[in-house]
């Protein structure tokens, strides 16, 4: 090399040291997960706890990896909420499994950015086939599967929020095109101002947010007494809006709401939406995993009417975040809507395989299909079904314990791995109950509120959960109630 170049050298971790470090981390991970039940599920730290524990600035010279390892317990773990503890019952589960962790290690090593086919063909092609495997496991209509030879296919999104937004943007593009043909004199902003989408008032907050992000009106329709969105409600709203000169374009049907795991009546909503040219997006973020079990598929009746379907293997199917599976019957509405195609991203094979960058909000993407491949192969369908069925059984176990205590009542219907319950009595009483449960620190729950009734959600989250854990969690709830009722008597 020419001496004109002053070449600094980098002192960095070499392979032998990496092997020691990574293998120690493997042991740490196994130890963490196998003993996670022993940790306090919810940390006791106060906001700002971490800053004083570490320096104000990055070091100039490298630290030792052994010091980094030991700082995990000192700095990080005191502030970790342990989502994989059997004592964690908040939100919905997020997945974690050994096969997925190992797959992500490989993904980190290959570290390709699969925005186009040529950028790493394996990254795109494994994703196409894995979404077919998964679609078959759910018995999705073949129009959603790439292997059917049609236009449809699946893609891994980061989150259900993004899937909802992508579907909304596809629906918007499709409707804009149709309306422009009908009204060549209307400009884009005029059309956008007339668009109206629909969702249940029970749908996830990310649906409302997708409307805000997409700059379109979304109406929250009232769910029925069982918290399901019904077809007649949708049709009434569509007719009202058409009469008002608006343009219905999008409806989100939720299969398994976050509040109570209620299932919208897709079998009613879908045909009506199809009739009025309204894009049907199905958000089955949590509960969709259950459709790998035939006995739950009745809850997705009407799926053939959907334009897009989404669920999160990263919630309940043991594939680590992020892996949100989305299928589209007509992906070209999304591909065409946001196709900006600079020369540096063009390649000779365009058209013969999907360039997934057109299917999503970000440009870059990790090799996430590896996680699906490893989990599907190293569990097998039977064990994944057993995992789902176990969690459903645990929710029933909790329900039985709850109804046996006359102070309590179940709120709504226990569905999947979620049991909603409350003390008979006021919202304030139940707010107090939740404060006491989380304050005791032995289990962690979050509340919700429907029709002004405040209740507690007990989600089965951990793959380590055993029947004894459910008994334990129930006893914690009951003990907090004892405390609360004793305090009231004073």
Residues 383-402 that bind its own copies (CB under 8 A): 383, 385-387, 389-390, 393, 396-397, 400
Please name the helix (run of DSSP H) or strand (run of DSSP E) that holds residue 327, with its range, or none.
strand 324-328
Q: Does 480 bind its own copies (CB under 8 A)?
A: no
HEC profile of 20-62: HHHHHHHHHHHHHHHCHHHCCCCCCCCCCCCHHHCCCCCCCCC
Residue number with CB closer to its own copies (47 or 184) = 47
Q: Is 152 in the site for its own copies (CB under 8 A)?
A: no
Q: Hey, which residues between 449 and 468 contact its own copies (CB under 8 A)?
A: 449, 454, 457, 463, 467-468
| Identity of the residue, 85 or 233, whose beta carbon is nearer to its own copies in the bound complex | 85
Q: Is 408 left (phi over 0), alpha (psi -120 to 50) or beta?
A: beta
Residue that the structure tokens 């709203």 belong to: 237
Residues numbered 179 to 218 that lie near its own copies (CB under 8 A) are 187, 189-190, 192-193, 204-206, 208-209, 212-215
Q: Measured between alpha carbons, how far is 237 from 81 in angstroms, rounded to an integer?
A: 42
**Considering only residues 378, 429, 479, 485, which one is a binding residue for its own copies as defined by CB under 8 A?**
378
With binding defined as CB under 8 A, does residue 471 bind its own copies? yes
- Residue 473: CB atoms within 10 Å: 26
Q: Which is nearer to its own copies, 178 or 396 (CB)?
A: 396
Q: Which is nearer to its own copies, 34 or 240 (CB)?
A: 34
Q: Does 156 bind its own copies (CB under 8 A)?
A: no
| Nearest distance in Å: CB 136, its own copies | 6
Burial of 91 (0-12, 13-18, 19+ CB in 10 A): middle
Among positions 39, 75, 301, 410, the unique one binding its own copies when judged by CB under 8 A: 75
Question: If DSSP codes are grouped into helix, strand and coil, which group holds residue 124?
Answer: helix
Of 38, 57, 181, 428, which lies in the binding site for its own copies, with binding defined by CB under 8 A? 57
Under the criterion CB under 8 A, does residue 5 sit at the interface with its own copies? yes
Q: How far apart are CA 379 and CA 100, in angstroms?
A: 11
* Per-state percent for the chain, helix, strand, coil, to nearest 5: 50, 15, 35
> Does residue 242 bind its own copies (CB under 8 A)?
no
Shortest reach from residue 32's CB to its own copies, in Å: 6
Nearer to its own copies, 125 or 413 (CB): 125
Residue with structure tokens 């077919």?
A: 132
403 binds its own copies (CB under 8 A): no
Q: 89-108: which residues touch its own copies (CB under 8 A)?
A: 90-91, 94-102, 104-106, 108
User: Binders of its own copies among 247-276, rule CB under 8 A?
Assistant: 258-259
CA 410/CA 77 separation, integer angstroms: 34
Residue placing its CB nearer to its own copies in the complex, 5 or 406: 5
81 is a contact residue toward its own copies (CB under 8 A)? yes
253 has which bridge partners?
282
Q: Which of residues 288-307 bind its own copies (CB under 8 A)?
A: none
Place of tokens 């149709």: 178
- Per the structure block, which two tokens stand in for 55? 């320096």
- CA 94 from chain centre, in angstroms, equals 8
Q: Which stretch binds its own copies (CB under 8 A): 112-120, 177-185, 276-284, 295-303?
A: 112-120
Site for its own copies in 17-46 (CB under 8 A): 17-19, 21-23, 25-30, 32-34, 42-43, 45-46
Pairing of strands 153-157, 324-328: antiparallel
Residue 161 or 305 having the CB closest to its own copies: 161
Is the Cβ–Cβ distance between 246 and 275 less than 8 Å?
A: no
429 lines the binding site for its own copies (CB under 8 A): no
CA–CA separation, 321 and 256 (whole Å)? 19
By CB under 8 A, tell whether 428 contacts its own copies.
no
Q: Say how far apart CA 255 and CA 263 lie, in whole Å.
A: 4
Minimum distance of its own copies from residue 274's CB (angstroms): 26
């Amino acid at each position: 090399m020419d001496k004109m170049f002053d070449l600094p050298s980098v002192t960095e971790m070499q392979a032998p040291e990496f092997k020691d470090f990574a293998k120690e981390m493997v042991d740490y991970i196994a130890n963490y997960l196998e003993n996670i039940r022993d940790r306090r599920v919810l940390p006791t730290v106060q906001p700002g706890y971490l800053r004083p524990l570490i320096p104000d600035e990055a070091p100039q010279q490298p630290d030792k990896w052994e010091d980094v390892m030991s700082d995990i317990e000192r700095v990080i773990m005191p502030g970790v909420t342990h989502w994989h503890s059997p004592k964690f019952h908040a939100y919905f589960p997020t997945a974690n499994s050994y096969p997925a962790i190992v797959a992500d290690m490989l993904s980190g090593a290959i570290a390709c950015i699969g925005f186009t086919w040529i950028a790493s063909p394996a990254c795109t092609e494994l994703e196409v086939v894995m979404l077919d495997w998964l679609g078959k496991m759910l018995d999705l209509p073949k129009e959603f599967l790439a292997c059917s030879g049609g236009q449809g296919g699946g893609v891994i999104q980061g989150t259900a929020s993004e899937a909802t937004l992508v579907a909304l943007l596809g629906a918007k593009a499709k409707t804009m095109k149709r309306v422009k043909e009908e009204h060549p004199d209307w400009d884009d902003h005029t059309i956008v101002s007339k668009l109206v989408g629909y969702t249940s008032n029970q749908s996830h907050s990310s649906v409302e947010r997708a409307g805000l992000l997409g700059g379109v009106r979304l109406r929250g329709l009232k769910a029925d007494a069982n918290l399901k969105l019904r077809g007649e409600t949708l049709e009434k709203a569509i007719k009202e809006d058409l009469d008002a000169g608006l343009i219905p374009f999008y409806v989100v049907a939720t299969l398994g709401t976050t509040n109570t795991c209620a299932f919208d009546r897709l079998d009613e909503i879908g045909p009506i939406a199809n009739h009025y040219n309204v894009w049907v997006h199905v958000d089955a973020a949590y509960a969709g995993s259950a459709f790998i079990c035939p006995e739950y598929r009745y809850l997705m009746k009407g799926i053939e009417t959907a334009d897009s379907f989404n669920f999160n293997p990263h919630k309940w199917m043991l594939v680590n975040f992020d892996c949100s599976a989305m299928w589209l019957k007509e992906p070209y509405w999304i591909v065409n809507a946001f196709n900006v195609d600079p020369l540096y991203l063009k390649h000779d094979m365009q058209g013969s395989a999907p360039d997934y960058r057109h299917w999503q909000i970000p440009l870059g993407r990790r090799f996430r299909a590896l996680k699906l491949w490893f989990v599907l192969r190293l569990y097998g369908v039977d064990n994944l079904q057993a995992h789902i069925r176990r969690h459903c059984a645990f929710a029933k176990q909790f329900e039985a314990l709850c109804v046996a205590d006359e102070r309590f009542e179940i709120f709504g219907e226990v569905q999947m791995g979620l049991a909603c319950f409350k003390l008979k009595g006021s919202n304030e009483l139940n707010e107090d109950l939740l404060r006491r449960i989380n304050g005791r620190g032995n289990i962690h729950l979050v509340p919700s509120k429907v029709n002004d009734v405040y209740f507690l959600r007990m989600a089965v989250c951990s793959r380590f959960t055993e029947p004894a854990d459910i008994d334990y969690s129930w006893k914690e709830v009951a003990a907090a109630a004892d405390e609360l009722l004793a305090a009231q008597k004073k």
